[in-house]
Amino acid sequence: MISVGIDVSKGKSTVCIMKPGGEVLETPFEMLHTMEGILLLAKRIKTYDEEVRVVLEDTGHYHWPVVTLLVEKGIFVCCVNALRMKKYCSQSIRRAKTDRIDSIRIASYGISYWHELTPVLAVEDTYRELKLLSRQYYQMTSMLVKAKVNLSNLLDQTMPGIQAILQDSACNNKLSDFVKRYWHYSNVLAMGKPKFTADYCKWAKKQGYRLNERKAEEIFALSQNGIPVLPYSQSTKIVVTEAVRILQEIEVSRDAILTQMQIFAITLPEYAVVRNMPCIGDILAPRIIAEIGDLRRFTNKHALIAYAGIDAPPYQSGTFSATERHISKRGNSYLRKTGFEVMQSLIQHKPEQDEVYAFIQKKRSEGKSGKEAMIAGLNKFLRIYYGRVSEVYKHIDEQLVFGSEI
């Protein structure tokens, strides 16, 4: 029994090799995250005649080069939740913290919890690609929200009231296209009503929007009564048109990421089942699959719910037992966010025959708040997801067994 504790940091790690009883076989040493450095560690591990298990802390993405190469070499690697490792290390009376000390404590954790260590499975490339794209999708969405707020603030100062008449939608960018062309009410007023109406209709036809002279008249009336606070200047033009350009480029980038996610997701066995769940569709399906990943890595539905961070751990001490518990929020926050989008979609579309929507309504009728009902609904959704996707892979496994027997 040999535990290899690795304290991971950016670009390098500190490694400690330990046997039971705290016997350190090799003084903690530094390993660079290069092909040569990691392969040297793998070679050193394979020189031992005893069973060796590598233990490291889940550090976002810094640990993946180490994990990937060691798993490829057939070495047992366990990634421990950062919070759990922190609690274990904090048990020491001494508060000293260095990379060397941390590697010793991680190796010690491996000895203490030897029989609880679970190996990292080789992740299928499709799931890895999906997760990468999913995180970038969230980044783009966050940037898009900020870009929309920025443009909205600018329009309040150059074209007050225009956002009540024109809006962007999932199907078109009518507002931002209009602003890119006219950008300030002074441009509208300078044309005069007849010329602006004709110009607007010509522009709308060219852009593929519906011709509407009444809309042009409404905009002209706004330009007459509105009070822009930013000057009609080259600086204002640059600021407004650049805000539109950035907004539209972010939308294009996000759409490209989503399209690639759909291309990957559709190749997975569970896609059709997930896609056909009520109110999921082509946008939410690849995103929910991306954040859950390979379902087979979860031992049961409770493990999936805990991974989402919506489990409510029991709290009991002596004769006291808590009746009002809160979700842990210690799981995948991106999965929770995507899950809540699914719940919002269900509430918006109201599929009466769907059991998750019916469960949400039941919780609301019991006096639960909207948020509590959505958490309960997401919990049920993940249970159903686990059951249906598990059936898909069970059927595949049965076919493989049947085929091998033939």
The backbone region for 183, taken as left when phi is positive above 0, alpha when psi lies in -120 to 50, beta otherwise, is left
Write down the CATH number for the domain with range 128-257: 1.10.287
Reduced to 3 states (helix: H, G, I; strand: E, B; else coil), residue 85 is helix
Exposed / middle / buried, residue 191 (Cβ in 10 Å: 0-12, 13-18, 19+): middle
Q: How many CB atoms are closer than 10 A to CB 255?
A: 12
Each residue of 189-232: pLDDT tens digit?
999 999 999 999 999 998 888 878 899 999 999 999 989 999 99
Reduced to 3 states (helix: H, G, I; strand: E, B; else coil), residue 12 is strand
pLDDT for position 315: 42
CATH of 2-122, one of 3.40.1710.10, 3.30.420.40, 3.40.50.10800, 3.90.110.10: 3.30.420.40
Domain boundaries, the chain: 2-122, 128-257, 271-405
305: which 2 tokens?
A: 């719910």
Reduced to 3 states (helix: H, G, I; strand: E, B; else coil), residue 157 is helix
pLDDT beneath 70: ranges in the chain: 60, 92-96, 121-124, 311-330, 399-406
Each residue of 342-400: pLDDT tens digit?
999 999 989 888 899 999 999 999 998 888 899 999 999 999 999 999 998 888 777 65
Record the pTM: 0.74
Q: For residues 31 and 38, what is the distance between their CA atoms, to the nearest angstrom?
A: 7
pLDDT for position 146: 96
Q: Which of 92, 73, 89 is nearest to 81 (CA)?
A: 89
Q: Which residues pair with 23 in a beta bridge?
A: 19
Q: Which of 355, 373, 396, 382 is nearest to 288 (CA)?
A: 382
Distances (CA, A) of 11 to 2, 292, 348: 25, 28, 46
Residue pair 15/66 in contact (Cβ under 8 Å)? The answer is no
Residue pair 45/106 in contact (Cβ under 8 Å)? The answer is no
pLDDT for position 317: 42
Q: Which residues pair with 56 in a beta bridge?
A: 6, 79
Residue pair 291/338 in contact (Cβ under 8 Å)? The answer is yes
Distances (CA, A) of 29 to 47, 132, 354, 387: 17, 31, 57, 46
pLDDT for position 211: 76
Rg from Cα positions in the chain: 28
Distances (CA, A) of 134 to 99, 170, 254: 32, 19, 10
Whether 2-122 and 128-257 share one fold: the answer is no
